[in-house]
Structure 1
Amino acid sequence: MSSQDLSFIPDPDADSISSDVASFGGITVSTQVPTRADGSLELGSITAQSECTLEALKVALERAGSSMDRVMHLTIYLTDMADRAAFNDVYQRFFAKPWPVRAAVGVAALAVEGMRVEVTAMAARA
């Protein structure tokens, strides 16, 4: 595999040390946090953070030539598993049957204090 087989779309945040999207052979991978359209973090309720996170994922996938309906796998990181029901309410507005394969993982903390959710997705290119 050569580096020509891989493509990376940098995170819009100039200080980020992670790409926004990486792709290989028709598969796109993205990790998103609750970032508003203006680049600021949403650190409010789990519902607000979930909406921002999934909207950021939608935008990143579309920039990479994919879409939410092409997501095959989603890993959800929650700092409080009691937030899972609220996340699922938002999730059902962004995804439909057939649902992506997914896992919800409880973590002690995320990168920024107050951040309650992060997702990593794998999607097919459109």
Structure 2
Amino acid sequence: MSKQIVYTEQAPAPIGPYSQAVKINGMLFVSGQVAIELAPQGDIQAETQKVMENIGAILEAAGLDYSNIVKSSIFVKDMNNFAAINEVYGRFFTAEPPARETVEVARLPKDVNVEISVIAVQ
């Protein structure tokens, strides 16, 4: 069992004691991604787009892409933004989307509006 830490400068550096992603046994566990620089603007679609781009950069650094994602978790500050988030999120999965849950939470790191984590397999 060989654990590999995945890091790319094309996504935000961790803001705590965690890795952007960990690859082990053909599986990639991507930590929750946020769009810190966009959060204060309140444009949930732009924020979601940036989060998905961050995930894409990490996937690429691990030699994978969106088609390798099998599970995602979406955390939102306001469930009223669900449709807007879903619209952007759906653009990244044109066929066979991954399993997913979406959960409303009271607060997210750096007061962002959406955070998404994924699990991908080779």
Q: How does 1:1-126 map to 2 (within 5 A)?
A: 1=1, 5-10=2-7, 12=9, 13=13, 16-31=16-31, 32-34=33-35, 41-43=37-39, 44=41, 45-113=43-111, 115-125=112-122
What amino acid sits opposite 1:118 in the alignment? Answer: E
Contact 1:10–1:18 (CA<8 Å) still a contact in 2? no
Contact 1:11–1:18 (CA<8 Å) still a contact in 2? no
Task: List runs of 5+ in structure 2 lacking aligned partners.
Answer: none
What amino acid sits opposite 1:104 in the alignment? Answer: T
Instruction: State how far apart, in whole Å, the 1-side matches of 2:68 and 2:100 are.
Output: 13
Task: List runs of 5+ in structure 1 lacking aligned partners.
Answer: 36-40
- The alignment's TM-score, normalised by the length of structure 1, stands at 0.84
Question: Alpha carbons of 1:61 and 1:82: their partners in 2 closer, same or farther (altered >3 Å)?
Answer: same
Question: Alpha carbons of 1:15 and 1:73: their partners in 2 closer, same or farther (altered >3 Å)?
Answer: closer
Instruction: State how far apart, in whole Å, the 2-side matches of 1:57 and 1:103 are.
Output: 17
Q: How many residues align?
A: 116
Contact 1:71–1:100 (CA<8 Å) still a contact in 2? yes
1:23, CA displacement in angstroms? 1.0
User: Identity rate of aligned residues, in percent?
Assistant: 28
Give the SS at the match of 2:81. helix
Instruction: State how far apart, in whole Å, the 2-side matches of 1:7 and 1:119 are.
Output: 21
Question: Alpha carbons of 1:118 and 1:60: their partners in 2 closer, same or farther (altered >3 Å)?
Answer: same
CA RMSD of aligned residues (A): 1.7
Give the SS at the match of 2:47. helix
